[in-house]
Amino acid sequence: MSKKKKNIIVYSCLGALALAAVVSVLLLTIFGGESFSGAMDDFGFPILTLLGGLCLFMFGMNVMGESLERAAGNKLQALLAKFTTNKFAGFFTGLAVTCVIQSSSATTVMVVGFVTSGLMTLRQAINVIMGANVGTTITSWILSLGQIPDEAGLILKFFKPDTFVPLLALLGLVLHMFAKSSRKKDIGTILLGFATLMFGMTIMSDAMKSKAIVGGVEKVFGFFGNDTPLGVFAPIATVAAGALFTAIIQSSSASVGILQTLAAAPGSGITNSVALPIIMGQNIGTCITAVLSSAGANKNGKRTAVVHLSFNLIGTTIMLIVYYIFIYALKLLPVMDEGATMLSIATMHTLFNIVGTLILLPAARLLEKLAYKIMPETESEKQSKLVIDERLLATPVVALGVCHDATVTMAKDAIGAFDSSLDSLLEYSRERAEAVRKIEDKTDHYEDVIGTYLVKLSSHTIGERSGDETAKLLKLIGDFERISDHAVNIIESSEEMLEKNLVFSDDARRELCVMKCAVSEILSKALEAFEKNDLAVAYTVEPLEQVIDDLKEQLRTRHILRLQEGRCTISAGFIWSDILTNLERTADHCSNIAACIIDTSNDNLNLHESVREIKASGASFETLYNEYSKKYLLPELQ
């Protein structure tokens, strides 16, 4: 589910609640005997104020999360690139990413997209999801700063939201309105989002001073207490209520923040024994985002959502059993009957997620087996091709990183296929030829999928630097695809020689070996320059491409001499010419790749201008050109 659709659903629910509040006031006026003005003052206006604060709170959290994703940029991409099969690395990566973007739901949706795209295994995803569950608790600790007492020391007072939020709002406004770089503007938006979030929380707290609302909250949460008719089933009902509310607003962080605000109101009647089951339910409710997100995913994406739901259900069940044992069987922990505070809720939220993770982290493999048991793997699934999940479009920086990784895979396949085709010139193999053709089909598919995805990504809000990277990848996928096409052309030339029973002379084979080595090196350099974004390597490509151009002309001239001497046939000459053309054009594509990398680093998208600048660079170009000329010197004519 896209963020836009999610926001529509959430704010529609809030609008419905506001409408319900107004209708309630009308009914109270008609049937309760109160005046409309009095009913509005006692009940209507405070409810609308509470809902308005809730809207600002959730809007601020949404804006802050989106801006954090953009501002994180390459750092977030680097964290996501470090997913490994090591469970602790995956756990801490999930924790760190969630702390950065302030949303376990967003992290889980990213993970669903990675698994769907085949860029992460289900086992890796499990560890990341567990880390995300712990990382999301940071929001409750930030919000709990609001309970620092007014009589606290000067240093502690600076940590109170009333002290630092206005300063952050002012700094955020200045950055957002006057900063020139998109990164600084994003930082400004983060600060404004956080200020809006805290301001919304203040409005909710003020609304909670209404006796009517406090009384209503006390009645609602009193219904879930242990002394109600629900009896021993009260915690289960409370878990269900917490799950339902969190599923509606699709954010456990926001749900916990709202619970903290309600608990902070004097006389709310929310005890720790009620708050803890609500927190358990919130962990289940937050799974709705991943479940909805996986609706259009492949089976691996759906398994990821199953794992997320299973992890939270199993963890909640275990902790609920422990809760029953301590509260009902052993009648321990009298502190649970005390009134909940922002700090106690943050503590319970963190401990619940940490303990649940400690219990289930060693059982990650069992969760994976459970997901495959629920959704068995099919034969067609094993043979599925590249898919880049559109859910990642909600996080453009991450989506761009996935496209880059997919392009690297495409580049390695294309260059590997070309190297194999070069080997076939000297020793043809049917198996090698078939493998090259399969890779060519694969790179065609990669070009189509990556290109289509990048065009969609271009329409989303991305930074200037990310926009240049998108344009670069759109250019490069065409060059890598053409390299695989030239590999097939060389395979076809080898097969034509085999069919016509033609062979090259010993001189031609020795010359071809020199050309083959030069092209292999330029392919290797182009791949290294792209994969590592290494400008130093990129600048070495063009001198080698010039040497390959020279080699092509020399080999054509030598072939003509052999024809004149009767040491070569015209039929073999046509194939020789085709091979040289494919080798030279492959070197041209390598030149394009290197120039594109240089262009992007210099904020210049004029390919021909970059090539001219490289050739005009003077001594460095000439030095490299002379070195390559000596390295790939053709053998003397016999």
Find the DSSP H helices in 333-462: 342-360, 364-374, 379-382, 396-426, 430-458
User: Is 433 part of any domain?
Assistant: yes
Place of tokens 């799974």: 287
Q: Do both 33 and 109 map to the same domain?
A: yes
C-alpha span between 595 and 612 (Å, rounded): 10
Of 357, 379, 401, the last residue of a domain is: 379
Tell me if 137 sits within 8 A of 353, measured CB to CB.
Answer: yes
Q: Do both 221 and 308 map to the same domain?
A: yes
Of 336, 355, 379, the last residue of a domain is: 379
C-alpha span between 384 and 380 (Å, rounded): 6
Q: Do both 341 and 402 map to the same domain?
A: no
Q: Do both 297 and 412 map to the same domain?
A: no
- Per-residue pLDDT at 584: 93
User: Is 91 part of any domain?
Assistant: yes
Q: Do both 396 and 367 map to the same domain?
A: no
Q: Do both 96 and 242 map to the same domain?
A: yes
Q: Do both 121 and 257 map to the same domain?
A: yes
What letter does residue 330 receive in the DSSP assignment?
Answer: S
Q: Give the number of C-alpha atoms closer than 13 A to the C-alpha of residue 630, restricted to the C-beta side.
A: 5
Q: How far is CA 546 from CA 2, 96, 181, 518, in A?
A: 49, 47, 39, 11
- Per-residue pLDDT at 1: 46
- Per-residue pLDDT at 247: 81
Domains identified in the chain, total number = 2
User: Is 384 part of any domain?
Assistant: no
Domain range enclosing 501: 392-631
With the CA atoms of 178, 180, 182 and 185 taken in that order, what torsion angle do they form, in degrees rounded to the nearest 10? -20
Residue 411, domain CATH: 1.20.58.220
Q: Do both 472 and 497 map to the same domain?
A: yes
User: Is 470 part of any domain?
Assistant: yes
Q: Do both 476 and 526 map to the same domain?
A: yes
- Per-residue pLDDT at 360: 85
pLDDT beneath 70: ranges in the chain = 1-45, 65, 68-86, 100-103, 116-119, 146-162, 205, 208-231, 267-268, 293, 295-298, 328-335, 377-387, 389, 391, 394-395, 460-466, 603-619, 637-638
User: Is 122 part of any domain?
Assistant: yes
Tell me if 294 sits within 8 A of 375, measured CB to CB.
Answer: no
User: Is 385 part of any domain?
Assistant: no
User: Is 387 part of any domain?
Assistant: no
- Neighbouring CB atoms inside 10 A of 327's CB total 19
Q: What is the pTM of this model?
A: 0.59
User: Is 589 part of any domain?
Assistant: yes
Of 328, 355, 379, the last residue of a domain is: 379
Q: Do both 463 and 346 map to the same domain?
A: no
**Tokens (6 digits) for 276:** 């803890």
C-alpha span between 585 and 563 (Å, rounded): 24
- Per-residue pLDDT at 31: 45
What element of type H or E holds 590? helix 570-601
Partnered with residue 339 across adjacent β-strands are: 271
- Per-residue pLDDT at 402: 80
DSSP one-letter string for 102-134: T-HHHHHHHHHHHHHTTSS-HHHHHHHHHHHHH
Q: Do both 418 and 367 map to the same domain?
A: no
Q: Do both 396 and 368 map to the same domain?
A: no
C-alpha span between 401 and 466 (Å, rounded): 10
